[in-house]
Homo-oligomer: A and B are copies of this chain.
Amino acid sequence: MTLGEPKQGPSGTAAEGISPCAACSVRDMAFCGVLNDEELPRLLAIFTTLSVEAHQPIIDEGEAADYLFNVTGGAVKLYKLLPDGRRQITGFLFAGDFLGIAMNEKYAYSAEALGRVSLCRFPRRKLESLLDEFPKLEKRLLGMASNELVQAHDQILLLGRKTAQEKIVSFLLSLSDRAAKRSSERSPIELPMGRADIADYLGLTTETVSRTITHLKRDGLIRLLQGGRVDLPDPAALRDLADGS
């Protein structure tokens, strides 16, 4: 089972009556942002909002890709597994990110809620019909896919050729950059994921992640705050560390 229907939260009721898009804080960042107020109802008609509790699955690799999602709040991890249990996290999603571009009838990876997550869920067939109706929607998705590919190649460079410290620093900076795009503060940054998730994202072990963070802390390059928040006092120095220059 892909999505636990019973876990559908109380926000599902918000879809009745008033438009959830009106109050949506990520509408401009998400792909829906290209639709104007007259076109939006066509989109509204096909999606439902829902929320998923922490640690609950959202999609499972290999299942039929019947739904696509927009993350409107919270954080999501995407991952793939090898038969013996080794895990690679392929990405983290935050508010405004789209879930499901990378598919092929079947989902290419699994997704799980990091904390409580709010989502808009679109039936793929219906969304594809809308793409025919609104070419600018399709153009937007193509642009987002292109951006995701650029990021994927950055991650490939990181995994293939960077040291543990460069990986950690690159990771922190990318979180900082993405927070800035969501018009949050650039620093301190939130770390909604645990050390094991960071390790599986960067191709390391939890021990190495922990040690490297301790090292950065001792060098005064980062500061650990309450609630898993991290302060980056000298972003410029970190940028240099991130690619070994």
A residues lining the B interface (CB < 8 Å) = 80, 82-84, 86-88, 90, 101-104, 108-109, 131-132, 135, 138-139, 141-142, 145-150, 152-157, 159-162, 200-203, 243-245
B156 contacts A245, C-beta separation under 8 Å: no
Given A132-B135, A135-B138, are A244 and B153 neighbors across the interface (CB < 8 Å)?
Answer: no
A149 contacts B152, C-beta separation under 8 Å: yes
Residue in B82, B84, B101, B152 whose beta carbon sits within 8 Å of that of A156 in the complex: B152
Task: List chain B residues, Cβ under 8 A from A203.
Answer: 159-161
Q: Given A80-B153, A138-B142, output 13 extra A-B contacts at Cβ < 8 Å.
A: A80-B154, A80-B156, A83-B245, A84-B244, A101-B146, A102-B146, A102-B149, A103-B150, A104-B150, A108-B149, A156-B159, A160-B201, A160-B203
Task: List chain B residues, Cβ under 8 A from A131.
Answer: 139
Least CB distance from A201 to B in Å reads 8
A149 contacts B82, C-beta separation under 8 Å: no
Task: List chain B residues, Cβ under 8 A from A243.
Answer: 82-83
- What's the number of copies of this chain in the assembled complex? 2
B148 contacts A149, C-beta separation under 8 Å: yes
Cα distance A148–B150 in the bound complex, in angstroms: 11
A88 contacts B160, C-beta separation under 8 Å: yes
Cα distance A142–B145 in the bound complex, in angstroms: 7
Task: List chain B residues, Cβ under 8 A from A154.
Answer: 80
Cα distance A109–B160 in the bound complex, in angstroms: 15
Given A139-B138, A160-B202, A160-B203, are A150 and B83 neighbors across the interface (CB < 8 Å)?
Answer: no
Residue in B88, B103, B244 whose beta carbon sits within 8 Å of that of A157 in the complex: B88
Least CB distance from A27 to B in Å reads 22
Least CB distance from A135 to B in Å reads 6
Task: List chain B residues, Cβ under 8 A from A103.
Answer: 146, 150
Cα distance A80–B170 in the bound complex, in angstroms: 16
Residue in B88, B102, B104, B157 whose beta carbon sits within 8 Å of that of A90 in the complex: B157
